[in-house]
């Protein structure tokens, strides 16, 4: 049994607030560890430490800074398997899926090796008589990240890597449900040569989040989590004059056109809907077949696939997905299925009663599939964040695109079709930040940016890609004129002091 404290100034420090909570192992419901919940004073100690370390790090030349990232990549690659197992045990996803979680994080670290290039400024020679104008990108100082439970490697890395590559000191407040991997990431960065104090992990809940939002020395906050908390953090952080970017919840639609390859579509849908027990912000939670015949063909192939999904413990390499994160999450998801039934949607596959033999205390649930869901139902409007897929039948393409456009959320969306014209029209008109064309989970690769629209995102810059370097730096623009006087031509006589 581990007691997670905090990682401040390059050292593990025990929590002093007197508050802590259990870290569970969702596959059997056991308590794996405890995690300290920091007070505002503990956060302040971390900020002071980070503030003291940051100027020397920012003054380190950028190529030397990113060499630390290179060494970090090597270290993670050496312990990929054990890191993935730790992640799977605390989160509940399968080990194979946990490896993907780490990998998508490392891909952003790889791109951040290009930080020296991304931080270059602009230069105008002769903007006026004898005047040059140039700009430079400088680190903000101390910045913080507040991250969700569902990608405990990927999302912290999406924030840490660009922030430190740009010369900032970083304070991570990971999810209190699975802090093990973020703590290990901090240790590995130190081992890779990152100076103490540049990456700190302060564990906790709302108390420490509020302390981050109110601390005058924290210059920027990046958040990922549910929409109500995203909105709260955005408002409070902005009111305190910080730079803030917040990414929230989702309700991602997959539009299935009559000409779609139905085998390919169902393969894509089953993975995107139920992978990681539906606990992904880019999971497909609404399938929208266009036309009656498309809907019938979809259901004919989809229902048996949902019925035969293999749910298992995180360590079972043959499982399609594992347990959900907590018993409360399990009860919330089952509650949504009850709501859907009461609202009149047709529950075609019911996974509520699933029990995992030998793991009776784990937080398991089988896949659920609703047909004939309508846009006025709560199960359509709200994010369920579990292995529950809703089918909303649309009479036409216009009706299908309107559904995605009218939904409050706008994180990801996909269209499955063989028609290039429909796909092109869809990509152009849909009011959603990330679009897949015959790709069910269109998480952009690391050198493009990631971000939703509407209630899925607050703030104007996305995560990773070019936006990350803009978010974690401020621009300084210099207008310069030098007095003339050293242009007197060649001098052939040796200069003397006379």
Q: Which residue in 364, 432, 425 sits closest to 403, CA to CA?
A: 432
Q: Between residues 248 and 362, which has the closer beta carbon with respect to ligand NAD?
A: 248
By Cβ distance, which residue is nearest to ligand NAD?
225
The CA radius of gyration of the chain, in Å to the nearest whole number, is: 25
d(CA 497, CA 83): 68
- Contact in structure between 324 and 279 (CB atoms under 8 Å): yes
Q: Between residues 173 and 297, which has the closer beta carbon with respect to ligand NAD?
A: 173
Q: Between residues 87 and 209, which has the closer beta carbon with respect to ligand NAD?
A: 209
Considering 112, 246, 281, 368, which one is annotated as catalytic? 281
Per the DSSP assignment, residues forming a β-bridge with 476 are 136
Q: What's the min distance (Å) between Cβ of 179 and ligand NAD? A: 10
Q: Between residues 38 and 50, which has the closer beta carbon with respect to ligand NAD?
A: 38
Neighbours of 252 (CB within 10 A): 30
Estimate the crossing angle of helix 95-112 against helix 62-78, to 10 degrees. Answer: 160
Geometric angle at alpha carbon 303, from 297 and 306, rounded to 5°: 135
**Quick one: tokens of 97?**
């899926």
166 tagged catalytic: no
Q: Between residues 294 and 463, which has the closer beta carbon with respect to ligand NAD?
A: 463
Q: What's the min distance (Å) between Cβ of 269 and ligand NAD? A: 18
Q: What's the min distance (Å) between Cβ of 388 and ligand NAD? A: 14
Q: What's the min distance (Å) between Cβ of 180 and ligand NAD? A: 14
Among left, alpha and beta (phi > 0; psi -120 to 50; other), residue 334 is: alpha
Q: What's the min distance (Å) between Cβ of 202 and ligand NAD? A: 11
Q: What's the min distance (Å) between Cβ of 158 and ligand NAD? A: 9
Q: Between residues 53 and 384, which has the closer beta carbon with respect to ligand NAD?
A: 384
Q: What's the min distance (Å) between Cβ of 159 and ligand NAD? A: 11
Residues engaged in binding ligand NAD (CB under 6 A)? 146-151, 173, 175-176, 205-206, 209, 224-226, 229, 247-250, 281, 383, 385, 411, 452, 456
Q: Between residues 212 and 423, which has the closer beta carbon with respect to ligand NAD?
A: 212
Q: Between residues 10 and 225, which has the closer beta carbon with respect to ligand NAD?
A: 225
Q: What's the min distance (Å) between Cβ of 198 and ligand NAD? A: 21
Pairing of strands 368-371, 388-391: parallel
Which residues are the active-site residues?
A: 281
């Amino acid at each position: 049994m581990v007691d997670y404290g905090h990682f401040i100034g390059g050292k593990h420090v025990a929590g002093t607030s007197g508050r802590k909570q259990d870290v569970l192992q969702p596959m059997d419901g056991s308590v794996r560890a405890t995690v300290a919940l920091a007070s505002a004073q503990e956060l302040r100690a971390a900020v002071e430490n980070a503030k003291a370390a940051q100027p020397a790090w920012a003054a380190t030349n950028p190529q030397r800074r990113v060499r630390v990232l290179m060494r970090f990549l090597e270290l993670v690659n050496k312990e990929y398997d054990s890191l993935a197992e730790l992640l799977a045990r605390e989160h509940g996803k399968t080990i194979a899926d946990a490896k993907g979680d780490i990998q998508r994080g490392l891909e952003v670290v790889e791109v951040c090796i290009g930080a020296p290039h991304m931080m270059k400024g602009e230069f105008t020679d002769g903007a006026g008589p004898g005047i040059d104008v140039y700009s430079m990108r400088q680190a903000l100082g101390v910045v913080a990240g507040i991250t969700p439970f569902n990608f405990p490697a990927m999302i912290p890395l999406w924030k840490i890597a660009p922030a430190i590559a740009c010369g900032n000191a970083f304070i991570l407040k990971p999810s209190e449900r699975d802090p093990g991997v973020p703590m290990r990431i901090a240790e590995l960065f130190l081992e890779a040569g990152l100076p103490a104090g540049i990456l700190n992990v302060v564990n906790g809940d709302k108390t420490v989040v509020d302390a981050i939002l109110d601390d005058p020395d924290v210059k920027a906050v990046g958040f990922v989590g549910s929409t109500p908390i995203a909105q709260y953090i955005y408002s409070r952080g902005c009111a305190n004059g910080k730079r803030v970017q917040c990414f929230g919840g989702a309700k991602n639609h997959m539009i299935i056109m009559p000409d779609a390859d139905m085998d390919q579509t169902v393969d894509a849908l089953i993975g995107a809907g139920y992978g990681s027990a539906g606990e992904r912000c880019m999971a497909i939670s609404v399938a929208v077949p266009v036309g009656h015949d498309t809907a019938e063909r979809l259901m004919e192939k989809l229902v048996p696939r949902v019925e035969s999904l293999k749910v298992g413990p995180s360590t079972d390499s043959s499982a399609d997905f594992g347990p959900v994160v907590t018993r409360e999450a399990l009860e919330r998801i089952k509650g949504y299925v009850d709501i859907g039934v009461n609202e009149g949607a047709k529950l075609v596959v019911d996974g509520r009663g699933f029990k995992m033999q030998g793991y009776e205390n784990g937080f398991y649930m089988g896949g659920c599939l609703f047909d004939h869901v309508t846009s006025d139902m709560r199960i359509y409007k709200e994010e369920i964040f579990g292995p529950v897929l809703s089918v909303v039948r649309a009479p036409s393409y216009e009706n299908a695109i309107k559904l995605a456009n009218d939904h409050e959320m706008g994180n990801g969306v996909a269209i499955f079709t063989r028609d290039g014209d429909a796909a092109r029209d869809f990509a152009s008109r849909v009011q959603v930040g990330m679009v897949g064309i015959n790709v069910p989970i269109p998480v952009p690769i690391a050198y493009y940016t990631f971000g939703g629209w509407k209630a899925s995102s607050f703030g104007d810059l996305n995560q990773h890609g070019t936006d990350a370097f803009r978010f974690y730096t401020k621009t300084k623009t210099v207008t310069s004129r030098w007095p003339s006087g050293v242009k007197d031509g060649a001098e052939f006589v040796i200069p003397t002091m006379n």
